[in-house]
Structure 1
Amino acid sequence: MKRYCLTLDLKDDAQLIAEYEEYHREIWPGIKKSIIDSGIINMEIYRFDNRLMMIMETNNRFTFERKAAMDVSNPKVLEWEALMWKFQQPLKNAKPGEKWVLMDRIFKLNG
């Protein structure tokens, strides 16, 4: 199992943030299936103000390249991502078109 932490900002608008959270209370079934099918075995998203942090735990089949290839051929994922972009904004140092940005681990207590 491998763990990844990613970050993203939401637009700084309380109504949009509340709507974004509502969508994530119960994500669309096709989105959940696509996450699991890609090799992600657990995913959590945390929020502070308009900053999000996602923790993903993956199996050995998961790669970001494989997930991206699966996503571009899945109309439901494309629809979901377009909808989510209404609420999200890129981080200041993100590459063009990049949403969630992989974080670097700088500390680990054990190991």
Structure 2
Amino acid sequence: MAKKYIDVMDTTFRDGFQSVFGGRVLMDDFFPAVEAAKEAGIKHFEFGGGARFQSLYYYLQENAFEIMDLFRDIVGPEANLQILARGINTVMLDTASREMIDLFAQMFKKHS
């Protein structure tokens, strides 16, 4: 019987932080855990978007795009990275124009 590949996505670094801490976790505090997850063989991460994206700016004074770049550096180019978008609102709190949705897609593709 052939082995079956099962892809498991780790949502700790977005949903876990957002659910437990309101997304307010400094990058220097969780990057060692990202490294450990990579070393454990995890290759699929949800790591940004939603309130996690906003809390970096509002509460932590950290740049979400810089964190995306550093996250990618840690997990490597082969990792599958995913972010949460609120449909037509993307990461905003109000409905976005087509131009803003396109900009969102371009920026998140560039940084993750």
- TM-score, length-normalised on structure 2? 0.27
Structure number with the bigger relative contact order (C-alpha 8 A, sep ≥ 6) is: 1
TM-score in terms of structure 1 length: 0.27
Write 1 or 2 for the structure with the bigger share of helix. Answer: 2
